[in-house]
Structure 1
Amino acid sequence: MRTGVAIDLGTSGFRAQKIDLDTGEIRRTAVTIRNPLPGANIMDHMDFAMTYGLDKAHGLVINTVRRLLEALGIGPEGPERIAVCGNPIQLSVFQGIPIDDLAYAGKKKKEKYHITDRKRESKIIPASEIAGLEIYPDCQVVIPPAIKHEIGADALALIVNAGLPDTDEIMIATDFGTNAEMALKAGGVIYTGSAAAGPALEGQEISCGALAGPHTISDVVLEGPYIRCYILNSEMKPETGDLVDPVTGISVEKGNLRARGITGTGVISLIEQGIAGGLITLPKINTPDHVIHLQDGITFIEKDVKEAGNAIGALRAGHMTLCAAAGISPGDIKVSHMSGAAGTYMDAAKAYRIGMNPYNVDLITQIGNTSLKTAREILLSEDRLRELQDIASKIVGTHVMFATSDVFKKIYILELSYWGEGMSFKMFRKFLKKKSLPETEEPTKTPVIDRRVERDIPVFGDEGYQMIRRTGTYLAMKVEDPRCAEWIKECPTHAMSWKDNMIRIRSDLCDGSNCRKCRRTIPPDIFSWDRLTVMDFRPEETEASDQEQE
């Protein structure tokens, strides 16, 4: 069998599939539950690469890719072809391309630091041109194009799979993830943008949050005074969980599965149901201890409400900013497409009711993981790769940079007031009008929901599915001071270890620039991130106990 591998280099984790190049069939799927770069979002990843070296970031990414190839059953000879998809930062780090032009949005800033934009066009190159993949001398790597700045191949995948190039209807498509790529089709033009929504939509930075995986709460439903939890099983399908008293956490009825955390989709569902049932009055939780208690000790606190609200607000501000660029109001949008893992597992009706889809659309579709699908398509067809390049060339001029947009800034400030300060929706709309911003309507229509896939990865393949809990990616340096045994205990994510006079940091657990507690704890003459090196990929570091085999 001629073998190829399609990889989605996602901000929250990588997804890969082994493909039969002769038949196009998916044979096996492997996913990591985290990105190997320190941090929880794209800004953390960029900061790490810019501050501590592209070589370190590249090494961690390539080690993870090699780990995925091993999990897919690819032998030492390697696959015949690898195709990747993702945002420009992830794709650039994968290739070892400098990302300084992606780090600065403003033209003046780039001129000040003598930074020129790099072309990120589609190409097919030998694996030997990518450091760390030269061990596969007969392999080719397929790289899709980027549109501009932070909008890349993943956004193109969204645009194509949502059918935006082929319609005259006003519609919007959003990848509901950490980087929240979005595209609006209006007046025959496609407008793109990317909102740094943060990791809450994928269950991160939430007190009991977890990435979507088996035994995580993906949905909740109010049943009288109680909350019914729904939990993902080993096939990533929801099963009935406990019926819980949200005030006490006591289960009044036991379900089929235990829970170890709540996903981003569960968070969205809980906020919507909490508001509808009076458990939440933004930004407060209306229980005696200001905590919503779910099954198995999982709790939801007021900080989580604000964290999720910041993400939801960024999405809605992004949608409205694109509307301003197109000269339309959000009420003109007829169709909203949802993609990505969160966009797949999320209850679309609940997401709509709290503003994650424009109010009063006629139709909401859920279309799954478009990035992995596109990686698979360009793996099998060079024509598809050329088509993506053509689309990227046409819409480069209609990208809206939210980081420098006054419209986005003004709307997002209002969103923060709505979600975090108790501003009423009526007052929110009043200020939009006062500031001559696109006005959102009250929701008066119930849209049709078209859920086209049950899972973000619909087909795993006949060889099965593997979730990799440990990628085997480490940063390390030699430190002989015995006080390290105590210092490493200060790491809040337990990413650090000290053995044989070597400090090791599990990069996939490290919170990166969002934390840096190790730098404040360990004297700089003893420990420095600048002196950390990437440990070579070692399969023995990924023990079976750290994996979940389905």
Structure 2
Amino acid sequence: MRIGVAIDLGTSGFRAQKIDLETGEIKKTVITLRNPLPGANVMDHLDFAIHYGLDKAHGLSATAVKNILAELGVDLAEMEKFSICGNPIQLSIFQGIPIEDLAYAGERKKQKYHIEEQNRDARIIPLAEIEGFEEAANCKLFVPPAIKHEVGADALALIVKAGMIESNEIAIATDYGTNAEMALKANGVIYTGSAAAGPALEGQEIEYGSIASPHTISDVEFEGENLRCYVLDRDMTATRGDLVNPKTGEIIEKGELTAKGITGTGVIALIEAGMRNKLIVLPKIQTPDGVLHLQDGIKFTNKDLIEAGRAIGAIRAGHITLCASAGIDMEELQTAHMSGAAGTYMDAAKAHKVGMIPYNANYVSQIGNTSLTVAREILLSEDRLWELQTIAKEIVGTHVMFATSDAFKEAYMLELAYWNEGMAFKMLQKFLKKKKLPIIGEPSSILKIDRQVERDIPELGEEGLEVLEKVGTYLTMVIEGCEGCHKCVKVCPNGALRMEENGTVKIRTDLCDGANCQRCLHACPDDRFKWENLTVTGK
């Protein structure tokens, strides 16, 4: 059997499939629960690569990929084709391409700091040219093109799989993940942007949050005054979990599965249910202890509500900004496409009610993991790769940089006031009108939902799904003169760090919050803990 591998290098985790190149058949799927780089979002990953070395970042990414290949049962020396898809930062880090040009939104700053724009067009190269993959002497690497800046091959995949190239209707497509890539087609033109919604939509930055994986809560429904949890099983199918009193955590009825966390989709469902049943009145949870209780001790707090509100607000602000750029009103936006793991498992009706889908939309399609799908397509067809390159060139001119957009800034500030400060919805509408931004209408009473896939990865292959709970990437160093106080270990909120003999520190990078934390660095009483001294290890 001739073997190829397609992989989605996602910000919140990697997803890979082993493919029979002769038949196109998927043989096995492996996913990770976290990205191997320290940090909770793509900007943390960018920060790590810039401040501590692209070589370290690449080493972690490459090591994780090799661990995934081992889990797939693929020998580097025998693999013929390898394709990747994802945002430009993840793809650049894996390939060892400089990323400084992705760190600055404005062209003036790039000129000021003499930063050279990198070529991120589609390409086919020997995989052996990538450091760490020298053994893959007979394998070709297929890389899809980026559109512009932070909007890359994953966003292009979204546009293509949503059918926006062929269609002339006004429609918006959103990948409901950490970076929230989105595209709007209006008057024959495609506008793109990325709202950087944050990791809450992938279940991270939520106390009991988790990426979608077996034994995580992906949905909730009220049954009377109690809350039914729905938990993903081994095949990533939602299964009845416990029936719980959300005010106390009392188990009313045991379900079929235990839960270890809650996904981003579960968070959205919980917020919608809480608001509908008055257990959430923004900006606070209205239970005696300010907590919504789920099964197996899982809780949702006011801090979690703030994080989720920021993410939801960023997405809606992005939709408003794209409409403003296209010169259309929000009420003209009646078709919406949802992709990514969150966009697949999320109850579209609930997402619509909390504002993650434009209120005027009356048709929503859920299209699954488009990034992995496109990675698989270019693995099997070189023509498909060059077709994507042509499409990318056509839409590069209408990319909207939210980081420098006044419209996004104004809209997002209003969203934060609504979600985190309790500003009334009518006031939100009033201020949008005052600032001459597209106005959010009332939710459409008729919503047709076209759920095209049941799982974000519809086909897992005959060998099934393997969840790689430990990515297997580490950073280590010897701290000279370490007195062994272990303060760095004690302050780590995720248990990512351990101290071994002779002052050797070892950090499990997929658990490390990176630039978002660095408590270990600040805890060292003698200032001997230096991140720049860390080296990559796979053991």
Give, in whole Å, the separation in 2 of the partners of 1:524 and 1:171: 57
Q: Alpha carbons of 1:444 and 1:76: their partners in 2 closer, same or farther (altered >3 Å)?
A: closer
Give, in whole Å, the separation in 2 of the partners of 1:453 and 1:121: 30
Q: Alpha carbons of 1:175 and 1:188: their partners in 2 closer, same or farther (altered >3 Å)?
A: same
1:246 has 2:255 as partner = no
Given residue 505 of structure 2, which amino acid in structure 1 is its aligned partner? Answer: I
Aligned residue in 1 for 2:236: 236
Is the partner of 2:431 in helix, strand or coil? helix
The answer to whether the 8 A contact 1:360-1:447 is kept is: no
Give, in whole Å, the separation in 2 of the partners of 1:357 and 1:485: 47
Structure 1 position 253, deviation (Å): 1.1
Identical-residue share of aligned pairs (%): 63
What residue ranges of structure 1 are gaps of 5+ in the alignment?
Answer: 542-550
Structure 1 position 291, deviation (Å): 0.9
Given residue 236 of structure 1, which amino acid in structure 2 is its aligned partner? Answer: M
Structure 1 position 484, deviation (Å): 4.9
TM-score, L = length of structure 1: 0.96
Is the partner of 2:331 in helix, strand or coil? helix
Aligned residue in 2 for 1:546: none
Q: Is the deviation greater in 455-464 or in 73-82?
A: 73-82
The answer to whether the 8 A contact 1:3-1:18 is kept is: yes
Which of 506, 517, 522 aligns to 1:504? It is: 506
Aligned residue in 2 for 1:548: none
The answer to whether the 8 A contact 1:265-1:345 is kept is: yes
Aligned residue in 1 for 2:143: 143
Aligned residue in 2 for 1:353: 353
Q: Is the deviation greater in 52-61 or in 239-248?
A: 239-248
Structure 1 position 105, deviation (Å): 0.3
Q: Is the deviation greater in 370-379 or in 212-221?
A: 212-221
Given residue 511 of structure 2, which amino acid in structure 1 is its aligned partner? Answer: L
| Superposition pairs of residues 56-455 of structure 1, within 5 angstroms | 56-455=56-455
The answer to whether the 8 A contact 2:488-2:521 is kept is: no
1:489 has 2:481 as partner = no
The answer to whether the 8 A contact 1:360-1:446 is kept is: no
Is the partner of 1:350 in helix, strand or coil? helix
Aligned residue in 2 for 1:547: none
TM-score, L = length of structure 2: 0.98
Structure 1 position 445, deviation (Å): 2.5
The answer to whether the 8 A contact 1:175-1:339 is kept is: yes
The answer to whether the 8 A contact 1:179-1:194 is kept is: yes
Is the partner of 2:378 in helix, strand or coil? helix
Is the partner of 1:164 in helix, strand or coil? coil
The answer to whether the 8 A contact 1:479-1:503 is kept is: yes
Aligned residue in 2 for 1:545: none
Is the partner of 1:508 in helix, strand or coil? helix
Given residue 507 of structure 2, which amino acid in structure 1 is its aligned partner? Answer: I
Is the partner of 1:270 in helix, strand or coil? helix
Give, in whole Å, the separation in 2 of the partners of 1:77 and 1:524: 47
Structure 1 position 479, deviation (Å): 2.8
Aligned residue in 1 for 2:536: 534
Give, in whole Å, the separation in 1 of the partners of 2:218 and 2:31: 18
Give, in whole Å, the separation in 1 of the partners of 2:298 and 2:342: 20
Is the partner of 2:154 in helix, strand or coil? helix
Is the partner of 1:519 in helix, strand or coil? helix
How many residues matched? 537
Given residue 473 of structure 1, which amino acid in structure 2 is its aligned partner? Answer: T
Give, in whole Å, the separation in 1 of the partners of 2:434 and 2:214: 47
CA RMSD of aligned residues (A): 1.0
Give, in whole Å, the separation in 2 of the partners of 1:439 and 1:393: 32
Give, in whole Å, the separation in 1 of the partners of 2:332 and 2:445: 13
The answer to whether the 8 A contact 1:218-1:266 is kept is: yes
The answer to whether the 8 A contact 2:219-2:266 is kept is: yes
Structure 1 position 354, deviation (Å): 0.7
The answer to whether the 8 A contact 2:362-2:444 is kept is: no
The answer to whether the 8 A contact 1:218-1:263 is kept is: yes
The answer to whether the 8 A contact 1:87-1:152 is kept is: yes
Give, in whole Å, the separation in 1 of the partners of 2:527 and 2:266: 44
Q: Alpha carbons of 1:321 and 1:524: their partners in 2 closer, same or farther (altered >3 Å)?
A: farther
Deviations, residues 316-370 of structure 1 (Å, cap 9, x unaligned): 0001100011110111012100000000000000000111011121210100000
The answer to whether the 8 A contact 1:484-1:498 is kept is: no
The answer to whether the 8 A contact 1:9-1:91 is kept is: yes
Give, in whole Å, the separation in 2 of the partners of 1:112 and 1:487: 38
Give, in whole Å, the separation in 1 of the partners of 2:75 and 2:308: 42
Give, in whole Å, the separation in 2 of the partners of 1:484 and 1:330: 57
The answer to whether the 8 A contact 2:487-2:520 is kept is: no
Is the partner of 2:511 in helix, strand or coil? coil
Give, in whole Å, the separation in 1 of the partners of 2:170 and 2:487: 59
The answer to whether the 8 A contact 1:361-1:445 is kept is: no
Structure 1 position 444, deviation (Å): 3.4
Give, in whole Å, the separation in 2 of the partners of 1:523 and 1:329: 57
The answer to whether the 8 A contact 1:169-1:334 is kept is: no
Deviations, residues 45-68 of structure 1 (Å, cap 9, x unaligned): 000001100000000000001011
Is the partner of 1:44 in helix, strand or coil? helix
Give, in whole Å, the separation in 2 of the partners of 1:487 and 1:387: 50
Given residue 337 of structure 1, which amino acid in structure 2 is its aligned partner? Answer: H
Give, in whole Å, the separation in 2 of the partners of 1:436 and 1:112: 33
Deviations, residues 75-125 of structure 1 (Å, cap 9, x unaligned): 252410100000000000010001000000011111110112111100000
Structure 1 position 498, deviation (Å): 1.6
What residue ranges of structure 2 are gaps of 5+ in the alignment?
Answer: none
